[in-house]
Each structure stands twice: as C-alpha cells, then as structure tokens.
Amino acid sequence: MPAEVTVFAAREIVTLNRSLPGCTHVAVREGRIIGYGGAEIAAEFGGTVDNRFAGKVIIPGFVEGHGHAADGIVWRTPYVGFYPRTGPDGQKAGGFKSIAEVVAHLKAEAAKLPDPTTPLTAWGFDPIYFEGRRMTASDLDEISQERMIVIGHVSGHIMNVNTKVLEACGFSRDSNLDGLLRDPQGNLTGELLGPAVMNRAARASGGAGLLRKMDAPAYRTYGQIARRVGVTTSTDLSNALTPAIVEALLTATGEADYPIRIVPAMQQREYAVAEGVARIQELRRLSSDKLHFGMVKIVVDGSIQGFTARLRWPGYHNGAPNGLWYVAPGEFEAIAEAYHTAGAHLHIHTNGDEAADMATEMIGRVIARHPRPDHRHTLQHCQMADAAIFRRMATNGMCVNLFANHIYYWGEQHRAITMGPSRALRLDACATALEQGVPLAIHSDTPVTPVDPLFTMWCAVNRLTPAGRVLGEGERITPLQALHAVTLGAAYTLKLDHLIGSIDVGKFADFAVLDDNPLRVAPEAIKDIPVHATVLGGRVFARQ
C-alpha cells in the first residue's frame, strides 16, 4: 500500500521552480514532494487536502547557509550587546550604550552567582559603537578581582578579560604572542585578538561566548530559534565535532520532533591535517536526512569591525594596523590541497579583501593541479571582494555567501571608521557577485546577528543603514534574487540543492509558511512579514 498523501493548499505557493513558478497546492508523501499545481493535484494523487494554510503563502523553507548553533548556548550567559535582542525565552536583553553600562550590568549579574570565585562570562560586546577608549582589564576588575571575567565580542573574534584571567593564562607584558593588545606603555589591556589567545582564556574560564562546547539541549534550543523565523535547514559553520559534540548532534537531530536539518562544518584548526582528513571521512558515514557531514571550515582572517580582518591597500580608513592571518598564506594552500584532494567541501572565512584575494588565488592553484568537477568551495563573508576577485572565483567554480546583515548592523561604522565612504559602497556586493556569475547565498552569521532570513533579504534588497542611508545602491538585488539566495542559492553552496531549496518533485517537503509573499510586498516591508509556521519533511511546526 502506498503511503498516504497530504496536499497542502495555500493562497499562493512560490516554488522557485522554473517549470511552474507559482501554484496553490503541493502534494507530499513520505516526507517528500510528489506533485504541485492547482486544486486538481488532490484528485491526481488521491490525497487528503490540508487547508490550514489556505490563506497563507508557502515558500521553500529558508536555508541559513552561515549560522552557528552556538546561538542555542550563548544565551545561558548575559548578553551585553549594543543592539537590544530577544532571547529564546522571549525576554529582551542588551541595548548598552557605554562601557560603564556594561560594567554596571555585569556587577549585578556577578552578585547573582552563589560563589565569589565562579567565573562570569558574557557575550555580544561591540565597542565600535562607543566613542573614546577601549574596555580594559581594570574595567572588569571593578566587577571582581576574585572571579575570572570574560566578555566575548559579538564578532566571535575578540575577548575582553580581567586581570584574574590574564594571570590564569600566564599572560604578562613579557609574553611574546600575537593577539595580546597593549597600551602605549606596553602593558596588557586585557583585550585578546584571535583564536590562539582566546582559546586559552576560554579554557581557563570554563568556556565563553561562541567558544562554548555544544550539547544536545543547546541544539534543541537552536532548532526552536531557527524554526520560529522560517528556517528548515541551517549550518553549524564552525564546530570542533569532537565525539561528545557529534553525540549531541546525533541525539538532537535524531528526535522525531527536531524541527530543522543541521549541516555542520568541521573546524580545520582543531586538527592536524592528516587527522582532520581522516575525521571528516569518518563523519560522512554518520549523515542522515537531518544531519549532513562533509564540510570543512577554514578561517583565514578575523573581523572588519574588530580590526582583525586582512585588507589590501590602503588598509583601514582610520589608520589602524592591518588585521591577523589566522592561517598564514603559505600554510593555507597546503591545507586546502589536502582537504580538496580528499573530497572535502571547503567553506573559507575571508572578511577582508586581502584574505579573499589570497584564498581565491590559492584555491585556483589547487584546482589547477587537482581538477575536481563541482567542488563548490565557498568563500564565507567575503565582505570586501571586488569584481576582479569575483571573476576569478567564477573561473575557479567557487561560490560565495555574503554577510548581507552587516550592511545594516555596521554599515555606518564601515563608512566612517573602517572602510571609508567609497569602499564601504561595495560592502557585501551581491549584485557584482551575480553579475560575475558566482553562485550566491546571503546569511546572518547567527548569533553575530539574529537569524532571520526575511531580514537578511531586506538588507540585500534595500541596503539601508540605521541612519536611513542607502549604502551602495548599485549593489541592491531584486527580491527574487534575495529569496533565491536564502533558499536554493544557499542550498547550492551546501551541495544540498538536490534535496532542499525549492519546491520540486523528489525534494524534501520543507516549507516556510508566511502571512504574505516577499516577492509582492513593498521591498521595505519584506522584513516585517510574519512567519506563520514551518513544514519539515511534511510535518507541520506551528510558530509559538
């Protein structure tokens, strides 16, 4: 006996399928799409019509192509960001406008801890919005000199720590390590740049911010966060994938009511190359419908707003020194070659244009020596790439996933401080990427910015800053292009476009159910469309 067919009816269905771009009914059997069209589909397949979405708009489920499931764990610690945000519990947090406000808030949080030596960690700090001096260890010593204090920046690339942490890590003015920020007298300020020094502080304090180790409850929380904004598939795009973390992934995604599919990327820096190649091969065998292994993340540079990204001439607009190489250029080529020849799918973090230029050139060399059809190696963020870099990416068969949300959250700061008024216009140049033939996705980098694909679409379509400035009008893309970039385009960069990303026969029945059609509302209203529900493999998850 064939399994039962359910036919979902809607006011309108956007398929992203050229053969039938719009329809009103989609038939589902065994969690996959069996047909789509008008009301006659029900008779054609003998299915039961589900009319609960009859007044709504069904689109392919959103694909968050650069997110971090750490969004499900960071909220266990205080959020101290500039922008107010809503946590998984529905409570508002953040909105701090000065160092003094952050310190006062953390003093209150420290008073809640039962033991005066328990470390206090917080996340989401972003000093680029504050005028004047940077936060120092002395500021955090005001909170406590007995307990370790660690504040992760929202970018995930910088930390501030108090003296207790510096001492626990063995950091002093005599330490000869990159990433230890110093004052004019050569004393450590307590600001730590990059993974080498940040990881030591995280270990000393028991974990902090985006460096905390994931568990099954954290993955469950992230699934609920993502589902509420219409996401049905998300990456976890920087994961040590230790046995304990993999077990947590298997546990959460193996639950029948887990609402999203997860695509983790193994963090390259956690393994020696040969060990990492063996690990990714081992992990592939654990893949399932809800869990897809095979990607490797290489982080080349840092954060533009944290001044740790690598920029070409003329460098930072405010004269700050160039950023950090997390992987030296000479080392990168050998690492990329090892994983490429092993069949891994590379996702490469490059924020600055010097980093994007280097990675594109060296991936090109690797491909020339070891041709591999359809590798789809992807530059992530790639925020300052120009037309020449995109042209070479297209020649190399590479993809790009641009951080469109940056235009809103840091556009004014990039214009005034980091990039200047001219270069900031090409920030996250979606139109140029498409013009040069590079497959495009756009993303939130959650929890760096909140996961919300409709907002990410809005950013790419309108390119508005909080000041109401259009930052690079020529780089605006159409709503259809933006919708493609958060569905089928993102699925393509994950090598999952045969399973997800559009409404087509044989694909998973993964849908986002909206109150309106993002292709028909005014462009400025895209971000305000409510998400009514999601459907994953034919199972309905109502928005709560």
Encode 68-83: b = buried (16+ Cβ within 10 Å), e = exposed: bbbbbbbbebbbbbbb
Strands 188-193 and 231-239: unpaired
Strand-pairing partners, residue 63, are 233
| 228 and 204 both lie in a single domain | no
C-beta separation of 410 from 383 below 8 A: no
| 207 and 300 both lie in a single domain | no
Does residue 126 form part of some domain? Answer: yes
Q: What is the mean pLDDT of the chain?
A: 96
pLDDT value at position 273? 97
- Domain end, chosen from 211, 227, 242, is at 211
Task: Among 25-29, 82-86, 206-210, name the one with the lowest average pLDDT.
Answer: 206-210
C-beta separation of 145 from 137 below 8 A: no
**CA–CA dist 140, 160 (Å, integer):** 8
Q: Which residues form the domain of 17?
A: 5-55
Number of Cβ atoms within 10 Å of the Cβ of 373: 5
Looking up residue 124, the CATH number of its domain turns out to be 3.10.310.70
CB neighbour list of residue 343: distance below 8 Å, 6 or more residues apart: 372
Tokens of 310: 């690598």
| 220 and 207 both lie in a single domain | no
C-beta separation of 167 from 80 below 8 A: no
**CA–CA dist 459, 455 (Å, integer):** 6
**CA–CA dist 387, 392 (Å, integer):** 9
Looking up residue 397, the CATH number of its domain turns out to be 3.20.20.140
| 79 and 19 both lie in a single domain | no
pLDDT value at position 183? 93
- Domain end, chosen from 211, 246, 277, is at 211
User: Using one digit for the tens of pLDDT, what is the confidence trace for 245-267?
Assistant: 999 999 999 999 999 999 999 99
| 106 and 232 both lie in a single domain | no
User: Using one digit for the tens of pLDDT, what is the confidence trace for 450-470?
Assistant: 999 999 999 999 999 999 999
**CA–CA dist 139, 129 (Å, integer):** 18
Does residue 464 form part of some domain? Answer: yes
Residue 458 exposed, middle or buried by CB count within 10 Å (0-12, 13-18, 19+):
buried
Does residue 65 form part of some domain? Answer: no
pLDDT value at position 46? 86
* Tally of domains within the chain: 3
Does residue 49 form part of some domain? Answer: yes
The dihedral through the CA atoms of 92, 97, 102, 103 has a sign that is negative
**What is the pLDDT averaged over residues 319-338?**
96
C-beta separation of 375 from 464 below 8 A: no
| 416 and 518 both lie in a single domain | yes
**CA–CA dist 23, 524 (Å, integer):** 25
Number of Cβ atoms within 10 Å of the Cβ of 330: 9
Looking up residue 30, the CATH number of its domain turns out to be 2.30.40.10
Sheet containing 440-442, strands listed edge to edge, beginning at the edge strand earlier in sequence: 62-64, 231-239, 261-267, 295-299, 345-350, 378-381, 399-402, 440-442
Does residue 541 form part of some domain? Answer: no
Distances, alpha carbon 301 to alpha carbons 75, 322, 335, in Å: 26, 10, 15
| 344 and 395 both lie in a single domain | yes
Strands 5-14 and 57-60: parallel
C-beta separation of 413 from 427 below 8 A: no
**CA–CA dist 92, 79 (Å, integer):** 10
pLDDT value at position 2? 67
| Band (3; pLDDT cuts 50, 70, 90) | confident
| 340 and 459 both lie in a single domain | yes
pLDDT exceeds 90 at position 205: no
User: DSSP assignment of 282-350, as one string?
Assistant: HHHTT-BTTB---EEEEE-S--TTTT-S---TT--TT-PPP---SS-HHHHHHHHHHHHHTT-EEEEEE
- Domain end, chosen from 189, 211, 233, is at 211
Does residue 62 form part of some domain? Answer: no
| 343 and 418 both lie in a single domain | yes
| 353 and 482 both lie in a single domain | yes
User: Using one digit for the tens of pLDDT, what is the confidence trace for 109-125?
Assistant: 999 998 989 999 999 99
| 204 and 231 both lie in a single domain | no
User: DSSP assignment of 129-178, as one string?
Assistant: GS-SPPP-HHHHHTT-SSS-EEEEETTSSEEEE-HHHHHHHT--TT---T
Does residue 68 form part of some domain? Answer: no
Tell me phi and psi for residue 519, to 5 degrees.
-90, -10
User: Using one digit for the tens of pLDDT, what is the confidence trace for 493-507?
Assistant: 999 999 999 999 999
| 237 and 161 both lie in a single domain | no
Does residue 188 form part of some domain? Answer: yes
| Closest residue by Cα to residue 365 from 397, 396, 330, 391 | 396
| Band (212; pLDDT cuts 50, 70, 90) | confident
Strands 85-86 and 62-64: unpaired
